[in-house]
Chains A and B, each alone.
Chain A
Amino acid sequence: MRRETRFGSLEHYEKGGVEVINDDPRNYAFSNIFEVASKSEPYEKVAVGKNLKYVLEAIRAEGTSPWYAASHDEAAIVMDGEIEIRLVKLEDKLVAEDHEGTTMLEGNPKGKKMGYIVARRGHMALLPKGAAYQFHASKPGVILLQTIRGDLTAERWKDICQK
C-alpha cells in the first residue's frame, strides 16, 4: 500500500505538542521550525534547539542575506523553498579561531569565488570553515542551521515554545 510522505512548509504546517502527565512542558522546549520562520524577519537566526554551546537555528530565507563566516564548519538544511548559497574563500582571516558561531561580515568579502549551490527542500549544504557565504531566496524559504551559539543567535524560547 502506497502512503503519502508528509513534510511541512511555511504555507502548511501542523503542530503536535506535549501532553503533560506529570511534568512541565517547558522541559521539552517544544516549537515548530515553520511557525518560528513564519514570524521571523528575513535571515534572523532563531535558536530552536540548544545543547550547551551548540544550537540549531531556524532561519527565514527571503531576498539576499548579508555575508557570513565562521571559524568552524556549519551545515544548512533547506526545509522549504529554493535557496542559492554563494561561497567565497576568504583572503584574510576575518573570524578569530576561538570565536564560535556565525559572524556577519561587512560588505562584500575579499577572496576567490568558490562557487555556488542551489538547494531545495531536503538538501543539506556545507558552509565550510574559512569561507564566506551568502544566501539568496527569491521566494520565502526556511533553513535549519547546525552551528554554535554566536553573536547573531536569537533566543526567544518563551515566545516560540509550548508553555
Chain B
Amino acid sequence: MPQTNASNEYGYRSFSVGGFSFERDEYFAHIKWPGGSHTMPMDAFLRALMRDISWSFFYGIVNFDQVFGTTNHYGNVDVFAGLYNAGYRAQNKHHVENFKTEEVRAVFEAMLDDWTNEGFDPFAAPEETGTPFGPKRGGNRAAITRKRLVANRMTGMKGDIPLRTDAAGNPVNRQFADVSQDEPEVHAEPGFENEVHAFNFFGYVSRSDVTWNPSVCSAVKYSQVCATTEEFILPIIHGNDRVEWFVQLSDEIHWDIQDRESGAPRARVVMKPGDVAAMPADIRHQGYSPKRSMLLVWENNDATLPDLYAKKKLKPNPVDF
C-alpha cells in the first residue's frame, strides 16, 4: 500500500515511495529525495503522471520534465531525479531508486486519484478541460481510469476492440468535425463475415476523446500500428529504448529531439500529412501539435529489443543509406 499522510491545508494527501516524497499545494507538485528537491506545475505533473500509469511506464524512459521521471525495465521501474540531465550528472546530484512495478504503480495511482480535481481530465487538451489548480475539489475517477485500447488483430473485428460510435458515447472531436465518417463497403460472402473486414480508421481516430495516448489498431506479429490524436504538447519527454516510427496522418506536429542521456538538442523534426520519420533508439522526443492532429505511431513490441539496444547489439538508427 502507498504510504500516505493526512491531508494538508489544501486538502491533499502526501505520498512517498522509497526515498522519494511527493506533496502538492494549489499550483505545484513538490518532489523530494535524499539530497535534492524539484518543483513541477500541477497541470504538467498530472498529465505526465496520467500517461506514465496508463501506459504501464511505456517503452523506455518517461521524463516528466528535464529532471524527474521513470525508466521501465518491464517488471521493475527506476524512479529518478536528474539521471538524464547533464548538469545533475556532472555534479553527481542525480538520484535513482528501483522498485517493483506494482509498488510504484500503487503509489502513482493513489497520487493521481487524490490530486486530480473534479472537472480536470489529464488526458484532454487544455481547451477541453477544467483547471487542475486550487484547493482539493472532488475528483475525476472516470477520466483517470480509462483503459488503454490494444487490438489483437484489428479494431472492429468480432471479439476485438470495438469501433467508436455516437451511440457508444464517442462523438467526433470538435477539431475533426470535417473528417469523413463514411464506412468502407464490405461485401463478405457467407461464412467469411469474420475475415472480410475494414473500418474507417480516420473516423475512428477522429472520435478519440484523449490526446497523446496511442491505441493499437492493427497487429502483424510484434508490429503494432497505433493511432493517437495530438493537441498542444506531449506531456512527457519520451526516451526511446527501441526505434519507433511516426506517420503524420493529418495536420502538423513539430518534434524537439534531444540526446536521450544528456538532453542535449539534436534536431527538430517538422511533420506534415504523409510524412514518415523514425525516432532512433538513442533519443528523447517531445511533440507540439498546434491543431488537433492524427498521428500513426508504429511500434515493435518485441520484448527482447530493449536489451539488444542497450548492449549495442542493434544500431540506434533503423536504416543505413
Contact = CB atoms under 8 A, between A and B. Distances in A.
B321 A13 contact: no
Contacts of B272: 6, 8, 13-16, 32
B197 interface: yes
Contact of A124 (B198, B245, B318): B198
Contacts of B157: 126
Interface residues of A, number: 70
A3 B243 CA distance: 33
B190 to A, nearest CB: 9
Contact of B182 (A120, A126, A144, A147): A120
Nearest to B205: A122
Contact of A2 (B153, B177, B203, B266): B177
Interface stretch (A59-67, A72-80, A91-99): A72-80
B276 A72 contact: no
Contacts, number: 237
A113 B196 CA distance: 11
Interface in A33-56: 33-35, 48-52, 54, 56
Interface in A1-28: 2-8, 13-23, 25-28
Interface residues of B, number: 78
Nearest to A116: B187
Given A21-B265, A33-B274, A75-B154, A16 B252 contact: yes
Nearest to A14: B272
A161 B188 contact: no
Nearest to A27: B317
A5 B245 CA distance: 22
B319 A157 contact: yes
B184 A120 contact: yes
Contact of A32 (B198, B220, B251, B274): B274
Given A56-B245, A120-B182, A49 B298 contact: yes
A126 B319 contact: no
B197 to A, nearest CB: 4
Contact of B180 (A27, A85, A121): A121
Interface stretch (B5-13, B103-111, B221-229): B221-229
Contacts of B291: 3, 5
A115 interface: yes
Contact of A33 (B182, B186, B200, B247): B247
B276 A122 contact: no
Contact of A7 (B175, B201, B221, B273): B273
A30 B277 contact: yes
B298 A125 contact: no
Given A16-B271, A26-B321, A50-B319, 8 more contacts: A15-B274, A16-B252, A18-B268, A32-B272, A73-B218, A85-B198, A128-B195, A146-B220
17 contacts: A5-B291, A7-B250, A13-B274, A15-B274, A16-B269, A20-B267, A22-B265, A27-B278, A27-B280, A29-B277, A34-B274, A52-B305, A89-B195, A117-B198, A123-B201, A148-B220, A158-B321
